[in-house]
Structure 1
Amino acid sequence: MKAIIALDVGGTSVKCSLVSIYGKLLTKLEIRKINSSGSKEEILDSFIKIIDELFCEAKRSGYAPAGIAGGFPGPFDYEKGISLISGVGKYEAIYGINLKTVIKERMKLPRNFPIVFEADSWAFLHGEYWTGTARNFSRVVGITLGTGLGSAFMIDGEIVQNKFGIPEYSWIGNVSYGRGILDDRVSRRGIIARYRELSKNRYEKIDVIDIASMAKRGDVTALGVFRETGEILGKALSAFLSSFKAELIVLGGGISKSSELIIPSLKNMLAEYGLFPMIRRAKNIESSAVIGAALYLVKKMGGEI
């Protein structure tokens, strides 16, 4: 049986597994820590170690590696496999590095061995469209809430960008908000910063999971932060949904595990603009981007893999 080495590269970890050409996880989904602020060699060594271990696992299990697929945060030249990330404190050391070339050289792979990359939010939505919550929907928006804000707009399985007012890469995180951009507020760092501001607690070590836990116990400040987050996201989305006319918004990323704290205010804000899409949490929060990246490779190869 053929297997795809599939990765979902995040700011602090890499999710990975072997995936069948039909989108089924063949091995347990692994989550590997990575120091994205490390040196070039440290980051590249981490990627190669993960890929090499998956090749070894395929061999032990009797699978034939058919390609490597990765969901990767942007900016990134996905066709060439070159990271263009800078100024955000992650993966800056590999700016301009051709990852396809590095992987093939270090893994001693044939020049024609299939390797594809796509935006991590695209991979997430592809996974949910093919195997998850977004199945049987035509017009879908995928929102990932985690280290940063990811987004993807899709019509009938195809990612949409530069249409309906939707920005390049289908990413709304770069939309202006306050003195910065939307990604600054609707993200892990944004939620933490807003909680610190409202609670006047600027010193205690705290993360989103702690704020969510307090909100679920009724903490007024924590509840307010998540309510605001939903409202801000809803207002930003309304500018695009009025013309895109989404049937479904599917939420993923680590913060979506507490989506019940965000969905009500998100839904109410969209309703104020006369927009009433369904809003659901992803079926496969952890694995959708891994599955989506793998199936994207199958699609890119025309199913001949």
Structure 2
Amino acid sequence: MTREDIYVIGVDIGGTHISSAVVDVREKRIIDDTYTTSHVANLESLEAIMETWASTLNKTIHAAAEIPLLGIAFAIPGPFDYKEGIAKYPEGFKYGALYQAKIEENLNPLLSHSSHLPMRFLNDATSFAVGEAWLSHADGNRKQLCITLGTGLGAGFIENGVPIVTGNTVPPNGCLWNILHEDGMADDYFSTRGFIKAYHQATGKNIVGVKELVDNFDADAKIKEVFHDFGNNLGGFLTPWLKKFQADVLVLGGNISKAYSCFGVALEQCLDQNDLIIPIRISHHMEKGAIIGCTRMFDPNFWEHIKNKLPKI
């Protein structure tokens, strides 16, 4: 492997899936034919989950037979000890069987690679944010707040391509999901379950997900009201953090961001009313942005910046 070559397996761990691919870190691109994804039954045993993860990773490893791999990088949700690679998921909840498990020790023996592959771990929302900033051609956007809107609220505060997780300009660990908001936490409102609750409160009706609302948006005034309130509330929630961080751009990802046409006007109006004129960019990379983003941990310069700042939650 020459000094210019860094090939790393990037892994995105979701609530019910695992996806992996080989990334050419220098070129910031996924290698053709190495991408694979699988469904994960997240309430299964530690052994069953590890077998599913290993099966998926082995498909990527086999597809990359001639590629010299440096390691495996994970974009993985918390709670997690990212420095030590230890899962902290509560027992009885998704991935609860992994509680206190050291992922590298449990997973590496199941992999078909001929040598031990070192593993590094980064929060999934942070990985998405790092990938978005890294892949962005808007070089003038020195400070980016990247949020993911889906089953929960993820966030990454990025300055010059590096996640900022400490200091007065960002919340603790760079997380927004657990910030107090109204009668709960931000995660309760800016997520799929937030939409489900808001629509039920407005109509008394139950829905499964946001897509149902999008599909009926044009014909239902109550749905329009729910989306308007979501955009307005999101703008009000983000305003103080955008100002503290002095962000140059707001990046939206996650499945709910695909419904931007339904709530974007309200979001932009709220930011305008708070004297925030800031460009908003919708991610086109989504999951693959996280896969690429986490592999930066094997870039020596990037790793030197973040290795001692990885959160333990």
Q: What TM-score do you get using the length of structure 1 for normalisation? A: 0.89
Contact kept, 8 Å, 1:123 with 1:296, in 2: the verdict is: no
| 1:267 corresponding residue in structure 2 | 268
Query: Which one of the candidate residues 41, 59, 75 is aligned to 1:53?
Result: 59
Letter in structure 2 aligned against 1:44: M
Q: Render the CA deviation track for 1:192-225: whole Å, top value 9, x for unaligned.
A: 22122212113xx53211212222x342222222
Contact kept, 8 Å, 2:36 with 2:59, in 1: the verdict is: no
CA 1:109–1:253: 2 relative to 1, 3 Å: same
**2 CA distance for matches of 1:102 and 1:129?**
32
Any idea what SS the aligned residue of 2:58 has?
A: helix
CA 1:189–1:280: 2 relative to 1, 3 Å: same
- The alpha-carbon deviation at position 134 of structure 1 amounts to 5.5
Letter in structure 1 aligned against 2:62: C
1:241-256 aligned within 5 A: 241-256=242-257
Contact kept, 8 Å, 2:165 with 2:173, in 1: the verdict is: yes
User: Would you say 1:95 and 2:107 are equivalent positions?
Assistant: no
| 1:122 corresponding residue in structure 2 | 126
| 1:26 corresponding residue in structure 2 | 31
Any idea what SS the aligned residue of 2:78 has?
A: coil
Q: Render the CA deviation track for 1:132-151: whole Å, top value 9, x for unaligned.
A: 36544101000001111100
CA 1:123–1:88: 2 relative to 1, 3 Å: farther
- The alpha-carbon deviation at position 106 of structure 1 amounts to 2.7
| 1:17 corresponding residue in structure 2 | 21
| 1:206 corresponding residue in structure 2 | 208
Any idea what SS the aligned residue of 2:83 has?
A: coil
- The alpha-carbon deviation at position 55 of structure 1 amounts to 0.9
**2 CA distance for matches of 1:168 and 1:39?**
32
Query: Which one of the candidate residues 48, 56, 59 is aligned to 1:42?
Result: 48
CA 1:197–1:232: 2 relative to 1, 3 Å: same
CA RMSD of aligned residues (A): 2.2
Q: Number of matched residues?
A: 297
**1 CA distance for matches of 2:50 and 2:170?**
33
Any idea what SS the aligned residue of 1:162 has?
A: coil
Q: Render the CA deviation track for 1:135-179: whole Å, top value 9, x for unaligned.
A: 441010000011111001111112112323422221111011233
Query: Which one of the candidate residues 178, 183, 191 is aligned to 1:179?
Result: 183
| 1:236 corresponding residue in structure 2 | 237
CA 1:284–1:133: 2 relative to 1, 3 Å: farther
CA 1:101–1:130: 2 relative to 1, 3 Å: same
CA 1:214–1:264: 2 relative to 1, 3 Å: same
| 1:68 corresponding residue in structure 2 | 72
- The alpha-carbon deviation at position 180 of structure 1 amounts to 1.6
CA 1:52–1:259: 2 relative to 1, 3 Å: same
1:121-200 aligned within 5 A: 121-132=125-136, 135-200=139-204
Contact kept, 8 Å, 2:166 with 2:174, in 1: the verdict is: yes
- The alpha-carbon deviation at position 111 of structure 1 amounts to 8.2
Letter in structure 2 aligned against 1:25: I
| 1:222 corresponding residue in structure 2 | 223
CA 1:103–1:230: 2 relative to 1, 3 Å: same
| 2:278 corresponding residue in structure 1 | 277
Q: What TM-score do you get using the length of structure 2 for normalisation? A: 0.87
**2 CA distance for matches of 1:235 and 1:251?**
16
**1 CA distance for matches of 2:269 and 2:72?**
41
Contact kept, 8 Å, 2:61 with 2:112, in 1: the verdict is: no
